[in-house]
Amino acid sequence: MSPSTRVTGALLAASLTLCLGLANSQAEEAPIDIAPVEVTWQRPTWLEGSAPVVVIEPSPEDIRAGRTVADLLEATPGFQIMRSGSAGQAQKVTMRGGNSRQVVVLLEGIPIADPGTATADLSLLPLEAVEAIEVYRGAAGAQGGSGAQGGAVVIRLRRGGKTEFTERVSTSFYAPDLLDGAGGSFTVRHRSLFLHYGHETLDGDFPFVDTNGNQRTRTNNRTSTDRLATTWRWRPARNLRVDFLGNLGLVARGSPGVEQFPSAEATEARQNVLTGTRLDWRRFLVDSGRLQAGLSYGFWQFHFKDPTPYIGPPVDNFGRSHRTRLDATISANPADWLGLEVETSASLEAMERTGSEPLPAKDRTLADAAVRAHLSRTGVPVDATLAAGLATVGDGSPALLPNMSVGYRPWTTLRIAVAAGRAYRAPAFDELYFSASGIRGNPDLKPEDTWNAGLDVETTWGPLMATLSGYYQRLNESILFLPVSPYLVEAQNTGAIDAFGAEAALAAKLGPVTVNGSFAWLDASFVEGGNPVPFKSAYTAGLGTRLTLGRFASYVTSLYRSPFKLDRFSSHEEEWRLLLDAGLSAELGAGFQLAIDARNLLNKQDRIDAFQHPLPGLSWHVSLQHRWQGEE
């Protein structure tokens, strides 16, 4: 075991031991909302600027319906989710013209993407523990560090407060006589503590129609998932706040393969641990001074086995990754119209891989620094943020990252913002060094380099809120695994990708009725050859309504996705689809709530996503929840 592994392992044990007994929360659950939010301490300081932010707050109905973080993001303009099959399988987020490695996902400032693959599996995050999801698109999130070309997603955990205990049991099935799975969870809030634990087991097999129109059954979809999230807040002084947080995700699941090459016996086990401490010290050195600092540790491990693959010899691969991260930001307001910030961060990443071709342990250090100025003045309708960052990329060389955003509010009900900036992504370890089963990394890869520009308009008129965005994104030196011979696939820089797009969202609350709508248009193509980027629909749209009457609440949501290409050469295309979900929940009294939800009511059985993974048709979800709240 390497020294860095021992050090980070010790840090994990100490931090996790502390986190498991402690936690805290700031807001009660609320319905989905689309609007700018006030700056809060949890938000990474590099995201505090003039560009708008979309906030998604899970509702109680979302939680009782068994929805996930990925489900809520999929209903937001600009997002498409890559799923590996039925519920419980991997869920990876893509934004605008990028892939899952080109969007940063942060848990309270901690990157959750595995350094080995540079992708984040959202299925390991429990929605019950999420207070809010903040979305920063394009240039607004470009300062998020490596991988923020498309933007950034910040997930904020719930915290303690009024004493509350919640228990929930659920089941799901694809037909009344075909029980698919069962799960249970409990949540505790007490003063400074928040703690959530949940377990879910799914059989996962379901019928589908293949690309030739034949009725088949998708097998080897079984999953078993355990998720733990906790936070705790400590106030040693009036101006000093310290937060501890932890998230543990364990999943063992079958790996069914793609439609053309199913895998009947493959299994995958993944473990992910994130733990960290964050400090917020106001009046640091001077009255307007502020110090925000964080120390975090992440651990990722996977084990993939397939004794009888569809093609080739048996596979037995194991991988382990670590990341220790330290960040600090000092800010001050030398004048009432000027705010200044200096931020630094450093990450130590380590990776181990074993398999048919064992890879020696690798490690690297990535560092970032940035200087930002925020300009705004009371009574003046214009504000601006100017930033210059310096980052080390994969080969250790520095990259200059300029960013700017300007906001203009001609009336209290209207705001216009423009933003532009540069982002980069250092190649992941697997892209550089992976070697197994005819797939090989490339240590000579260049980092991906992206320029973003966007225009955002927001308006609020009584109960109506609307946003409209337009953007352009140029991604240079994109990285893909492509065949170089009949027997070898290798990571390569594939030139540039141009992405143009527009997004719109509408939210309205009219008495007991809430309506949310979204629309996105995307034109993403390779500059060389002009072929569309795979898995990207040109048009997506969503519409949802919710009705609350006394003890009853109901909802109907729809999601449309236009046809999209399945490979880089546009030789295969998947058809359009329209998915329709509905649900009903009721307060039964004595703290009990019952929810019944139907998904994919149109029974669309040939939906294919990512690497041609079919998704299930009509399915049902039932949950019974009990909540007890203590006195103030």
Query: How would DSSP label each residue in 168-188?
Result: EEEEEEEETTEEEEEEEEEEE
Q: Is the pLDDT of residue 400 over 70?
A: yes
> Of 23-37, 436-450, 578-592, which gets the smallest average pLDDT?
23-37
Question: What pLDDT, on a 0 to 100 scale, did the predictor assign at position 611?
Answer: 59
What percentage of the chain carries pLDDT values higher than 70? 87
Q: With cut-offs at 50, 70 and 90, classify the pLDDT of residue 37.
A: very low
Cα-based distances in Å from 608 to 68, 314, 480, 567: 19, 27, 21, 13
- Please tell me what DSSP assigns to residue 601: T
Which carries the bigger pLDDT value, residue 174 or residue 443? Answer: 443
| Nearest C-alpha neighbor of 247 from the set 227, 233, 271, 232 | 227
Where does the pLDDT of residue 619 fall: very low under 50, low under 70, confident under 90, or very high at 90 and above?
confident
Q: Which residues pair with 545 in a beta bridge?
A: 515, 556
Question: Mean pLDDT: which of 7-16, 81-90, 388-397 is highest?
Answer: 81-90
* Contact (CB, 8 A) for 390 and 401: yes
Q: Do the bridges between strand 151-157 and strand 104-107 make them parallel or antiparallel, or are there none, so unpaired? A: parallel
pLDDT at 38 over 80: no
Length of the chain: 632
User: Measured in Å, how far apart are the chain's first and last C-alpha atoms?
Assistant: 50
Residue 614: pLDDT over 70: yes
Which of 17-26, 482-491, 547-556, 605-614 has the weakest average pLDDT? 17-26
Residue 46 pLDDT greater than 60, yes or no = no
Specify the pLDDT at position 406. 92
In this structure, of 52-56, 81-85, 449-453, 565-569, the range with the lowest mean pLDDT score is 565-569
What is the average pLDDT score of the chain?
Answer: 83
Task: Summarize the confidence of residues 440-469 as an average pLDDT.
Answer: 90
Cα–Cα separations (whole angstroms), residue 440 to 353, 389, 396, 482: 13, 32, 22, 10
Over the stretch 337-363, which tens digit does the pLDDT of each residue have? Answer: 999 999 888 889 988 887 666 677 788
User: What confidence score (pLDDT) does residue 31 get?
Assistant: 32
pLDDT of residue 631: 65
Q: CA-to-CA distance for 148 and 250, rounded, in angstroms?
A: 26
Q: Which pLDDT value is given to residue 632?
A: 52
Q: What are 569-610's pLDDT values in tens digits?
A: 766 778 888 999 999 999 999 999 999 999 889 988 876 765
> Per-residue pLDDT averaged across 563-573, rounded?
75
- Number of Cβ within 10 Å of residue 558's Cβ equals 18
pLDDT at res. 612: 67
Q: Where does the pLDDT of residue 1 fall: very low under 50, low under 70, confident under 90, or very high at 90 and above?
A: very low
User: What is residue 609's predicted lDDT score, i.e. its pLDDT?
Assistant: 66
- Please tell me what DSSP assigns to residue 618: S
**DSSP 8-state secondary structure symbol assigned to residue 533:** P
What is the Cα–Cα distance from 442 to 438, expressed in whole angstroms? 13
Whether the per-residue pLDDT at 318 is higher than 50: the answer is yes
381 exposed, middle or buried (CB, 10 Å; 0-12, 13-18, 19+)? middle
∠ Cα 378 382 383 (to 5°): 80
Tell which residue, 536, 534, 553, has the closest CA to residue 544.
553
Q: Is the CB of residue 497 less than 8 Å from the CB of residue 97?
A: yes
Distance separating alpha carbons of residues 64 and 187, to the nearest angstrom = 13
pLDDT band at 7 (very low <50, low <70, confident <90, very high): very low
Q: Is the pLDDT higher at 110 or at 37?
A: 110
Residues 625/593, Cβ–Cβ less than 8 Å:
yes
Q: Domain spans of the chain?
A: 3-629
pLDDT of residue 610: 56
**Residue 518 — φ and ψ, nearest 5°?**
-145, 155
Do the Cβ atoms of 615 and 607 come closer than 8 Å? yes
pLDDT tens figures, 250-299: 999 998 887 777 888 999 999 999 999 999 999 999 999 999 999 999 99
pLDDT of 221: 85
Q: Is the pLDDT of residue 33 over 50?
A: no
Q: Greater confidence, 24 or 172?
A: 172
* Per-residue pLDDT at 234 exceeds 90: yes
pTM for the model: 0.86
CATH numeric code, 3-629: 2.40.170.20
CA–CA distance, 175 with 180 (Å, rounded to integer):
9
As a whole number, mean pLDDT of residues 468-483 equals 89
Residues near 151 by beta carbon (within 8 Å), at least 6 away in sequence:
78, 95, 96, 103, 104, 135, 136, 137, 138, 140, 141, 142, 144
Lowest mean pLDDT among 180-189, 211-220, 452-461, 606-615: 606-615
Question: What is the C-alpha to C-alpha distance for residues 185 and 592, in angstroms, rounded to an integer?
Answer: 14
Burial (CB count <10 Å: 0-12, 13-18, 19+), residue 21: exposed
Q: Who wins on pLDDT, 596 or 98?
A: 596
- 105-141 pLDDT tens trace: 999 888 899 988 888 999 889 999 999 998 888 777 7
C-alpha distances out from residue 328 to 40, 105, 204, 281, 569, Å: 16, 19, 44, 11, 45
Instruction: Point out the least confidently predicted range of 14-23, 39-48, 191-200.
Output: 14-23
**For residues 93 and 113, is the Cβ–Cβ distance under 8 A?**
no
Report residue 377: phi and psi, to 5°. Answer: -145, 140
Instruction: Let me know: does 384 contact 418? Beta carbons within 8 Å.
Output: no
DSSP strand pairing (479-485 vs 464-476): unpaired
Q: What is the pLDDT of residues 54-97, one digit of tens each?
A: 888 898 888 888 888 998 998 888 888 887 777 778 888 888 87
The rounded distance, in Å, linking the Cα atoms of 22 and 8 is 21
